[in-house]
């Protein structure tokens, strides 16, 4: 194999990402809390303005960590969970009987203006075209609804940035905001956040209103 995959990040290729998560799903729940805490999840849900009567789509549900927080806010019957990795979903299914749809974040299999909100946690870093994914979230939510994404923050250190970006996407805050603006979102909010004091800006939460 050549080194061309470094240009976009090894796991931004959807086929490679699915293969990776086929095996990583077995240990994901043990590793994930190191980088993505319950407090971070609570902030994501808070920024989505979720209430009990809302129907929400989760784009990239993984093993259901964020799903749990969304369910507490809106009820399990109101959540539609989507993922491209059936192996990750199977882990989620062990915890909840989710309304699951297999699908691609960049081509959501839903009608326009279908949901009262959209949330995506830890998924954008695997999207080859994040602009398209954000535009899809905008398309499927109703006017006045909010879409929230949490993803990794670009490392400041040059070496760590190179290493990180050789694996997956690590956008800057400015890139997140630009993608949201170009998709049509208004009232954009940004929070840099992390699981502890050492990694207090490990991730970025972005919320926007349609």
pLDDT in tens, 100-109: 999 999 999 9
Q: What's the token pair of residue 80?
A: 């539609």
Q: Which domains, ranges and CATH numbers included, belong to the chain?
A: 4-209 (3.40.50.150)
pTM of the model: 0.81
Question: Which backbone phi and psi does 152 adopt, to 5 degrees?
Answer: -70, 150
Separation CA 19–CA 97 (nearest Å) = 24
pLDDT digits (tens, 9 = 90+) for 118-175: 999 988 988 989 999 999 999 999 999 999 999 988 655 443 444 444 445 578 999 9
Nearest C-alpha neighbor of 62 from the set 86, 88, 40, 38: 88
Residue 26 vs residue 35, higher pLDDT: 35
**pLDDT exceeds cutoff 90 at 45:** yes
């Amino acid at each position: 194999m050549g080194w061309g995959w470094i240009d976009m990040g090894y796991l931004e290729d959807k086929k490679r990402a699915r293969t990776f998560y086929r095996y990583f799903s077995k240990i994901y729940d043990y590793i994930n809390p190191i980088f993505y805490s319950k407090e971070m999840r609570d902030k994501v849900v808070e920024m989505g303005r979720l209430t009990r009567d809302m129907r929400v789509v989760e784009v990239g549900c993984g093993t259901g960590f964020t799903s749990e927080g969304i369910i507490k806010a809106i009820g399990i019957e109101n959540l539609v969970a989507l993922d491209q990795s059936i192996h990750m979903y199977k882990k989620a299914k062990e915890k909840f009987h989710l309304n699951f749809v297999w699908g691609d974040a960049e081509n959501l299999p839903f009608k326009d203006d279908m949901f009262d909100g959209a949330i995506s946690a830890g998924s954008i870093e695997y999207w080859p075209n994040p602009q398209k994914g954000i535009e899809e979230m905008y398309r499927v939510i109703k006017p006045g609804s909010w879409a929230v994404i949490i993803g990794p923050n670009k490392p400041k250190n040059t070496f760590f940035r190179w290493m990180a970006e050789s694996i997956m996407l690590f956008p800057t805050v400015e890139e997140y905001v630009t993608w949201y603006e170009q998709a049509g979102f208004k009232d954009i909010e940004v929070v840099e956040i992390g699981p502890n004091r050492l990694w207090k800006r490990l991730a970025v939460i972005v919320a926007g209103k349609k």
